Amino acid sequence: MLHFSADDIDRALTFPGLVETLRTAFREGAVQPVRHHHTVERAKGTDSTLLLMPAWTDFKAAGAGADGHIGVKIVTVSPDNNDIAKPAVVGLYLLLDGITGEPQALMDGPRLTQWRTACASALAASYLAREDASKLLVIGAGAQCRFLARAHAAVRPIKEIRVWNRTPANAETLAASLRDEGFEATAVSDLDAELGWADIITAGTISTTPLVKGARLKPGAHVDLVGGFTPGMREADDDAIAKARVYVDTRAGATKEAGDIVQPIAAGVLTADAIVADLHELARDQKPARQSADEITLFKSVGAALEDLAAGIAVYESLKPKA
């Protein structure tokens, strides 16, 4: 069995390449049960979360003779880790042979997640953001946000990036990192003002209080919500949901786990039927993407095991010893 570190994954993948890999994966499909989501209760501090995300090649659809793969990601989310200078999200990805079940590779889970999450958002933006979108607002300054900025820049002509975070120093750190990569990036302090500036807004936080206000969005904006992965988390308010054409990565996951979808449905602001499309339907041209230059679009991502599987296979195929 091969072992791939975060650096190995960085060597194996590119943002344009993985966006196209995910486009193909969503078009062709895979078997992906809704992820297992377990609360690990703690006597002191904040509870942790254990996530198990399995997926495997759809052998029935592929036909006889297909080999394929099985994959599972095991992740823990421990918010209190930030207090001891450790990442909140840690985990591993295990890739197996699709026929024999033999382990093929063990990979750094957080890095694979950062790549596939960012590229899923970029895939959605390739359908939903205006083709001339050049102004990107990043809400949040964690490790995922750096990947989100780079991925969006791979599918749209991003000329300027602004970063907002509750802790201004963290926003400046991320902006400096993006400047080192050649982007024109600055840290900003007035979130409401920046919402009206941006062509694309990408949010990667664990906020339970809405940060993206619909009243502040300009015509033609695209909103990309990534951070909230439980029904209690929320990054956009009801007004943003009501004003936008809403899209999701998977209907089953978003309507069960995403606070930005679950809460508006419960409040009667949104209905499940009003969700225009998921990534499967967009990739297969079954449902409409952006319809006009002025409409507001909103994409909610909670993560799909198919994304991990496709990214894991891409890493494995790139780095495995050549015969």
Q: What is the pLDDT of residue 238?
A: 97
| 8 A C-beta contact, residue 97 and residue 117 | no
Q: What is the pLDDT of residue 310?
A: 96
Q: What is the pLDDT of residue 230?
A: 83
pTM of the full structure: 0.93
- Both tokens assigned to 102: 């033999």
Residues of the chain scoring pLDDT < 70: 60-66
Q: What is the pLDDT of residue 228?
A: 86
Alpha-carbon gap, residue 283 to 293, rounded angstroms: 21
Distance linking the first and last C-alpha atoms of the chain: 16
Q: Tell me: do 8 and 87 sit in the same domain.
A: yes
Q: What is the pLDDT of residue 59?
A: 75
Q: Tell me: do 87 and 129 sit in the same domain.
A: no
Q: Which residue segment(s) compose the domain that 72 sits in?
A: 2-112+306-319
Of the candidates 6, 204, 205, which has an alpha carbon nearest to the alpha carbon of residue 93? Answer: 6
Q: What is the pLDDT of residue 79?
A: 83
User: Which 3-state string (H, E, C) describes 205-271?
Assistant: CCCCCCCECHHHCCCCCEEEECCCCCCCCCCECHHHHHHCEEEECCHHHHHHHCHHHHHHHHHCCCC
Q: Tell me: do 250 and 142 sit in the same domain.
A: yes
Q: What is the pLDDT of residue 87?
A: 80
Domain count across the chain: 2
Q: Tell me: do 76 and 152 sit in the same domain.
A: no
Alpha-carbon gap, residue 307 to 290, rounded angstroms: 23
Q: What is the pLDDT of residue 27?
A: 94
Q: Tell me: do 55 and 146 sit in the same domain.
A: no
SS3 293: coil
Task: Give the CATH number for residue 313.
Answer: 3.30.1780.10
AA letter at 293: A
Q: Tell me: do 94 and 209 sit in the same domain.
A: no
**Residue pointed to by tokens 């989310």:** 77
Q: What is the pLDDT of residue 62?
A: 58
Of the candidates 106, 99, 100, 157, which has an alpha carbon nearest to the alpha carbon of residue 132? Answer: 157
Q: What is the pLDDT of residue 61?
A: 62
